[in-house]
Structure 1
Amino acid sequence: MHPALADHLNPGCVELVERLNACHADHQWAKFLGKCNALSDALNRCLSAEFEVRRKRQLVEARARQARIDAKWEQMKEDDKEHEAFERRQRERGQQQ
């Protein structure tokens, strides 16, 4: 059984999906005896390859997103340090007067 096969989600496998659907329509009973198994296996390989491509792209995007988040956290830490130093100087000036 295949997941929902949307053309826009699996553009490289559209032809195989159509061929498998046609095979199932043409051989309504023989499909249960393995008539369409070769097409089904080819579709599984195609979907796996598409999944890997999508997974690698998402991994690159996630790492870039995480790098931006980490950079923002570092900037916030630097800002906090500067703010603490400013407050410390203000307290010291107040105590000197």
Structure 2
Amino acid sequence: MHPALADHLNPGCVDLVERLMSCHAENRWAKFFGKCNALSEALNRCLGEEFEERRKKQLVEARTRKARIRAIWDEAKADDEDHRIFEQEMKARAKQQST
């Protein structure tokens, strides 16, 4: 069967969902012999297209988030490198002062 067919999740397929549901309600027994198959196949295509659109949108959003996180990590890594260099300089100065 189909995934959760909520109007807010599949706004482009609402008409097909309603038509399929009414076909099933009007043809209680004929639906088992293929009476509503054309509507069901059209709904499957519509849901597949909406899924693909959502997948592409989510992929773009994920790449944006990943780039932002990578920039934060690179900044933190640069700060760590600066801190390490500072620590080395402080150790070298301390060593020079003690000799």
TM-score norm. by structure 2 comes to 0.96
Equivalents in 1 of 2:74, 2:13: separation in Å? 44
Identify the residue that residue 37 of structure 2 maps to in structure 1: 37
Identity %, equivalent residues: 68
Equivalents in 1 of 2:3, 2:69: separation in Å? 33
**Structure 1 runs of 4+ with >4 Å offset:** none
How many equivalent residue pairs? 97
Equivalents in 1 of 2:65, 2:6: separation in Å? 27
What is the CA-CA distance between 1:4 and the residue it aligns to?
1.1
Identify the residue that residue 14 of structure 2 maps to in structure 1: 14
Unaligned runs of 5+ in 2: none
Unaligned runs of 5+ in 1: none
Coordinate RMSD, CA, aligned: 0.6
Q: What's the CA shift string for 1:53-76, capped at 9, x where partnerless? A: 000000000000110111111111
Equivalents in 2 of 1:33, 1:46: separation in Å? 23
Q: What amino acid maps onto 2:96 in structure 1?
A: Q
Identify the residue that residue 28 of structure 2 maps to in structure 1: 28
Q: What amino acid maps onto 1:50 in structure 2?
A: E
